[in-house]
Amino acid sequence: MDWEELRRSRATRSDGDVMLEVRQLTRFVADKPIVENVSFAVRRGETLALVGPSGAGKSSLLRMLNRLDEPSSGTVLLEGVDYTTLSPRDLRRRVGMVMQQAYLFPGTVAENVAFGPASRGESVSAERVRELLERVNLAGYEQRDIGRLSGGEAQRVSLARTLMNDPHVLLLDEPTSALDEDTRFGVEELIQEIARERNLTSILVTHDMDQAARMATRVAVLEAGTLRQIGPAEEVLKTRDA
């Protein structure tokens, strides 16, 4: 091992507290950069809010973090390991995602909650499904058809489905913005509580500055694909208000 390699391995190891590190992530679509040279790190258990105008590239950035989209250049380190060395399935099991829409699969609530592990041929106990449904305040919903869920219920099933994989990182792409006023706050609180209980590292895309202030410890501002600002929530949100 030469000196350069040693230094690099030390550097990653000494950041023991860093869960996810984004390194110069760039993505071009049709020769147009939609995310450009974005770097930041997120500590274990932290919630980072990603804000910015519509079309700034927030979703595009988030989708690279679980490799739903391929970066044109740059990479992501998950607990110090380059994520391209993991299989996509393993990566996505560890880095869960909740989208704006629930996108449930036709069938029952229980089938949806069990889907991740079941699709990989892992056994899923009914007990585990029951516990998760209880945790998202949907006790007894196992056999309910997904066509008979309200928007808030569907989004909570989607959350339970993601949690079934026991992820370490949670990517949240405007998880409450499709919900109506009454259910929005409940889902937000639920996500916040569960993230705290499980010491999850979260990245929350939101256009709601109040939500960012309530949920995030730090805030990053993305504009036209580039990172304009990142820092403690109060500081960043104060300068954005001014």
Partner 1 sequence: MMHNLIAMLLSPKVFTGLTQVGVASLLVLATVMISYWGRVAIGKETAVSMVRGFVQIVIVGIVLIVIMDTTIFLGYVALAFMIVFAAVLSKRRAQGLPHATRISLTAIGVGSGVTVLIMIFTGVIAPNISTMIPVGSMIIAAAMRTNSLTLNRFRAEIEAHVGQIEAGLALGAPPSTVVQPYVRNTVQAGIIPAVDTLRSLGIVFIPGLASGMLLAGANPIYAAEYQFAAIAMLFAASTLTSLIAGLMLRGTIFSPAEQLVLRP
Ligand X SMILES: Nc1ncnc2c1ncn2[C@@H]1O[C@H](COP(=O)(O)OP(=O)(O)O)[C@@H](O)[C@H]1O
Q: Token digits for 103? A: 């996108």
- Please identify which residue in 34, 38, 221, 237 interacts with ligand X, judged by CB under 6 A: 34
If the CB atoms of residues 101 and 108 are measured against partner 1, the closer one turns out to be 101
Q: Residue 80 CB, nearest distance to Mg ion (Å)?
A: 29
152 lies in the binding site for partner 1 (CB under 8 A): no
Sequence-distant (≥ 6) Cβ neighbours of residue 237 within 8 angstroms: 209, 212, 213, 219
Q: Residue 169 CB, nearest distance to Mg ion (Å)?
A: 18
- Dihedral of CA 22/66/163/156: which sign? positive
- 25 to 64, contacts with Mg ion by CB under 5 A? 59
Binding mask 57-76 for Mg ion (x = CB under 5 A): --x-----------------
- Please identify which residue in 82, 90, 131, 235 interacts with partner 1, judged by CB under 8 A: 90
Residue 57 interacts with which of partner 1, Mg ion, ligand X, none, CB < 5 to 8 Å by class = ligand X
Residue 175 interacts with which of Mg ion, partner 1, ligand X, none, CB < 5 to 8 Å by class = none
Centre a 10 Å sphere on the Cβ of residue 185 and count the other Cβ atoms it contains: 13
Residue 25 interacts with which of partner 1, Mg ion, ligand X, none, CB < 5 to 8 Å by class = none
Helix axes 151-163, 181-197, angle to 10 degrees: 20
Return the range that interacts with ligand X (CB under 6 A); candidates 51-59, 93-101, 152-160, 184-192: 51-59
Residue 89 interacts with which of Mg ion, ligand X, partner 1, none, CB < 5 to 8 Å by class = partner 1
- Please identify which residue in 47, 59, 155, 162 interacts with partner 1, judged by CB under 8 A: 162
- 212 to 241, contacts with Mg ion by CB under 5 A? none
If the CB atoms of residues 108 and 226 are measured against ligand X, the closer one turns out to be 226
Question: Which residues lie near ligand X (CB under 6 A)?
Answer: 29, 34, 52, 54-60
